[in-house]
Each structure stands twice: as structure tokens, then as C-alpha cells.
Amino acid sequence: MVKKNFWEKLERSIIALGPLYDVTDAAFRQIIAKYGKPAVMFTEFASADGLVHPVGREKVRELLRYSEEERPIVAQLFTSHPEKMREAAALCQALGFDGVDINMGCPDKTIEKQGAGAALLKNLPLAKELIKAAQAGAPNLPVSVKTRIGYNQVEIEEIVPALLAARPAALTLHLRTRKEMSKASAHWELMPRIMELGKGSGVIILGNGDVTTPAEAREKVAQFGGDGAMIGRGIFGNPWLFSERTPDLKERLEVLIEHIELFDQLHSQHKNFAVMKKHFKAYLPAIALAKEGLVGFDGAQELHQKLMEASTASEATKIIDNFLH
């Protein structure tokens, strides 16, 4: 019996922030927690093998940095080795995480070659072993799973019952197959059947895909069912997403400065500053919001260009500060 299952205490419909590698790092999650906290957050996905390796563990531990303000915070891990998963889950429990999540949906070829990520959709017995191993390693924490609805085709009739049999605390389904990647529309029409398959299991089931705002999440859950939804890419440049308010330009740029400085403080020893640049365009409304027909501001393109040419955090913050003053 899990002693501390925070999932059971979350108000329905649950709206979670999904893990995005090199995006939802500790710096960005702290900013999000301050300006619009979701029901639950996940770390960037981290290698369980690396986490328990005497040489690689320091670098991987960087991915598992978190602050108290982010709770409930879940460590997301990947591996194809149950023993490594057990050890890594035990470490996550010791580090004070609120839960452990197993990535069974990543389509990255280097991850799949290890038999992890989406490759586990083709090896459900191993997938179940990994869940059991995480539960054994972290008996006080809820173990959840994030996966897809199939590898080359929809296989929910096989995948969902198999994973539920291992009794995870929560199951998030990216409603696309591995083959579809993110190109096809998410199959939210399958959620009613998925919820039927999960009936009586006690497992919390979230849908994921084609949801970029809390309003869209509530709409999808109301229409198709589920205990909630997970949002991923909608968070780019928008730490206010879960507060459902639109900041003015001054606040956007001031928070971007805060984000850059925090990234530099927390990650400069392990991550290249170029990682921050994927956020720049999204923070600038003239570019990020043009598709919504919203009016931008003079000098947006020039500001973006200067930021993309910056090579350090101090250089980038100076560019924004000069623009504001």
C-alpha cells in the first residue's frame, strides 16, 4: 500500500504539466510555480541507468533538481532494466519526490534502441515488470506511467489492461501512436473506451495531445471523459498558462529576465545557454501570438533577433533591460 498517494487528493479534473526535455527544467518549473501552478508537475525525463551509475549519476541528478514550491513534483524516469528502475525509484524516494513516473512513450530512436520509451509498447511484459520494480524501489510513493495508444497502430485493448494490471497510481495516454508521432490529430474519441477499460481499477487516467490551455483541457475531459488532461507544448513562453491570465508586455519581458537569470543560476554548469533560446520567441507576443490575430508590439522582430544572437545570460538580460528602458 502506497503511504503517500497525492493523486488521490487532487481535485478533478486534474490538469497536469507534462515533462518536456530541455524545456520544463528546474528553472522554468520554478517560474511556472510562481506565476501559474498546475495540479502536478514532472521533471524532465531522466535515465534510470545513468542515475544509478557511479560516473553518470551527477549529470543525471541535475535533471532531478526541484524546489519545494513545485510540489507535487514527480520524477520521470526511463529504462528497460527493472533492477535499475528499482534502484532509481528508491533514490527518488530518498530525494523527497512526491511520485515516480515511467516514460513508455518517447519516440527518440536512441531511447528505443535501449528497449525503453515507446519500445516498451512492443514488450508489455517488460513494461509491467518496470512498474513493479519502481513500486518495490519506492514503496511510499505513487508510481505512474506515461505512454501512447499503440506503436504502429491503435492497441488500447491490449496496452491499457496490461498496464492497469500492474496497478500504477495514474496512467497518462498520449492519444497518438508511436508511428503518428505528433503529426496526426490526437484520438480523444478513444477516451470513452479507455475509461471503460479502466473502470474499477482505481487508476487515475489522463488524456494528452492537442491540448494547449486549461480551457481546452476541461472541454476535452467534459466531452470525452477522463480524470484530467496533461498539457505540454502550450507552456512555451507562457508561465501564466495555468493562471489563465494574459500579462502585459512589460511583465512578459520582466519575467523572461527572471527566467534567464534563474536558468543561469541553476543550470549554467550543465546546460548550454542556447537551450534558453527556444523560449525567446514564445515570450514575445508579436511573434508567439500572431497566429491568434493578436496585436504585437513595435520592435519585436528586432528584439528577438538580438536575443537569438546573445551568447550569455547577462548579454540577453541586458538586451531586454535596454529595450524596457
Q: Give the Å distances, CA to CA, from 114 to 39, 45, 107, 119, 152.
A: 32, 15, 12, 8, 19
What is the DSSP code string of 3-19?
Answer: S--GGGGSPSSEEEEPP
Contacts of 1 (CB under 8 A, 6+ apart): none
- Give which of 70, 61, 212, 85 is closest to 143, Cα–Cα: 85
What is the DSSP code string of 178-205?
Answer: TTTTTTSPP-GGGHHHHHHHHTTS--EE
How far is the first Cα of the chain from the last one, in angstroms, to the nearest whole number? 57
H-only helix segments in the chain: 26-35, 48-51, 57-63, 82-94, 109-112, 124-137, 156-165, 191-198, 214-224, 249-267, 277-283, 285-288, 300-309, 313-324
Task: Tally Cβ neighbours within 10 Å of residue 264.
Answer: 18
Q: Say how far apart CA 323 and CA 325 lie, in whole Å.
A: 6
Active site residues: 106
Q: Say how far apart CA 174 and CA 188 lie, in whole Å.
A: 9
Residue whose C-alpha cell is 493578436: 294
Q: Say how far apart CA 72 and CA 50 lie, in whole Å.
A: 24
Which residues lie across from 76 on neighbouring strands? 101
Output phi, psi for 207, to 5 deg.
Answer: -100, 155
Which residues lie across from 19 on neighbouring strands? none
Q: Say how far apart CA 75 and CA 81 lie, in whole Å.
A: 17
